[in-house]
Structure 1
């Protein structure tokens, strides 16, 4: 009986130690990064067993409100090895003063602060430009998030951090697929119809997560080691 108890304790400690020693990859972003409406969960599945994905993204979050709501502090407190940062959708005009930012000033400043603070705890920050909305004008993606994507690209260059240009890659993808095929990425909207051109269903999440993983293999070799 004593032997069985000791074995049980040993295995419990082993499992706990394994969980503690996993390399943490944190996600900071808006709803397009969440597990239910974005690419977060699909990306987590691409990590090796020795890594874990901690998703702090939230619906309606902007680069401003993510800090103000305390979500960024949760990212830092989780002590991740890597932090993927993607905002833009709720930084746009019309989202209210609690969320809106200007690409050339406040948005860039917010991203810069995220980078500096991640580095201060020994984490590797990685910027991800905004996922493009699948809204077409004359057969092409409208691309209204371009100013925020360009701002993130500039910050990444200035701060010398890896960049996944998801905006450009998703625009190229959906321009190639066209309207009908792009709609297969849509989750059901509030009306029950597949008219949500911003968020992702399971299929869309898998495609986008793979694109991100492929880019990380190019720009972030240390994180690439954690991908299957």
Structure 2
């Protein structure tokens, strides 16, 4: 499939035909154009943009906003009067003059469209500056049309579906829906699944491409009723030619009802796998900084030889035009990394650790510094989820809080023109017989946060235990002091010797290329 796209088009909130249910203000600095929409503090007090698309397809919508409050200001995203993404979070930005960008993907028609942000709480909207909209052509694959297959029935008893019906999968683990998708070139595909979930619980599913699990436990959250349809968008790698994309439920509740897939593929062939360092820098390439935020599995060694985080070995995979700055710190959860030393040992009534005072750590403030911190074109790689699973403070982080803090970091990067990349936590070595298996939490949360914030995600959890299987680390006798296992790991099952860290760094570099993440242009 060949796609078409154009440079993003900017739609200012203060410029007609945009409509603001509130006032156009200019009292907070940093906005674009002549002002911003300050919506009335009420449910439904919205801002609406009139968007033109030369072709029907998927629109990447970047909403620039400011939220000087202390809580999220969620809004339903409506396209042409229909809610397509309910309750999208517009998280605090720290001040009303601190602007961030919230990115999501929606389907649009050729010609005129309306994109409306309708707040769902009495606090109303965040202040909205503009929407940047980029449209790419899309191919639609209906669940009821062969060669798509449905492990269930094709039904039509709930209205609002496209085509002649939808897949109502059997309520069982693995009762899947599968689509056959064509791509003209290898690369990354944006896959939007239209679905309905009339229950009150998430119906997660693994996303498999050509039989390989690319996303584990991707969430298909409740939509309110079986006749209320929503869109879940994920990014997956595809091969040139024919591919299968399969949604396989991971619980006995089975899948949500699935209407169709909208698939947008890139226009650039996938590069070859990551080679050992040897090439010279690319001429004319702008210089960028690759910022790393994470825990001990990513951090530089603090003394002695072990442990060595993979971030310490990452720079060797890049040309001289990319500088790696590793700010990962051992023993940190995402919250203690962000707020050191102010996360206390006290847990509040909601089950989260109390932060007092609520002041960012020096390492995060350094990244946010206007002079020496993140700048336009840079990249921020974020990997947590190991220490966060602690049951006690200060390291404990709950599921919702973890996703919120990933969103805070992504928004801050985007506000500075940098590009966030999320990583699931690297696996320790755990054997089930002769097979290395996953053992980390926060994998689903990382994927969900990536979807919510329009950021690519590298499933380092899966990629790392897949590497352990390739290296034949299972079964083993638990001796981390000698042999191949001892050369890879420190005297535990978690941390890396330099050689192991180098291989994990190579896995991350290869994923950048395989997933067509633009930072791959700086790889040797």
TM-score (norm 2): 0.36
Structure 1, unaligned stretches of length 5 or more?
1-20, 188-194
1:149 aligns with 2:443: yes
**Alignment gaps of 5+ in structure 2:** 1-285, 302-307, 341-360, 477-483
Secondary structure, counterpart of 1:45 in structure 2:
helix
CA positional deviation for 1:24: 0.7
* Structure showing the higher helix proportion among its residues: 1
Task: Give the number of the structure whose alpha-carbon radius of gyration is greater.
Answer: 2
Looking at structure 2, the residues matched to 68 and 106 of structure 1 have their Cα atoms a distance apart, in angstroms, of 13
> C-alpha offsets along residues 14-59 of structure 1, whole Å, 9 cap, x if unaligned?
xxxxxxx741110000011112221012111111111100111001
Say which structure, 1 or 2, has more relative contact order (CA 8 Å, 6+ apart).
1
1:56–1:75: 8 Å Cα contact kept in structure 2?
Answer: no
Shift of 1:166: 0.3
Q: 1:119 aligns with which of 392, 414, 417?
A: 414
1:177-188 to structure 2, matched below 5 A, reads 177-179=472-474, 180=476, 181-187=484-490
Aligned residue number for residue 84 of structure 1: 381
1:125, 1:161 within 8 Å by CA — same for their partners in 2? yes
Confirm or deny that 1:32 pairs with 2:326: no
Distance 1:144 1:214 in 2: 22
Query: Is residue 66 of structure 1 aligned with residue 329 of structure 2?
Result: no
| Secondary structure at 2:462 match in 1 | helix
1:168 is matched with which residue? 462
Task: Indicate the RMSD between aligned Cα atoms, in angstroms.
Answer: 1.8
User: Partner of 1:32: helix, strand, or coil?
Assistant: coil
Q: CA deviation at 1:142?
A: 5.2
Q: For 1:53 and 1:155, how far apart are their aligned partners in 2?
A: 24
Question: Is 1:43 matched with 2:314?
Answer: yes
Distance in 1 between the 2:339 and 2:444 partners? 24
- Superimposed CA distance per residue, residues 156-205 of structure 1 (whole angstroms, 9 cap, x where no aligned partner): 12222111110011122223422344443112xxxxxxx22111111101
Q: Which has the higher strand share?
A: 2
1:136 aligns with 2:431: yes
Q: Does 1:55 align with 2:326?
A: yes
Q: Distance in 2 between matches of 1:101 and 1:140?
A: 30
Query: For each residue in 1:188-227, what CA deviation from the matched residue of structure 2 results, as whole angstroms up to 9, or x when unmatched?
Result: xxxxxxx221111111011111110011113354211111
- Aligned twin of 1:23: 288
* Cα-to-partner distance string for 1:62-94 (whole Å, 9 max, x where unaligned): 111011121322222222510000001110124
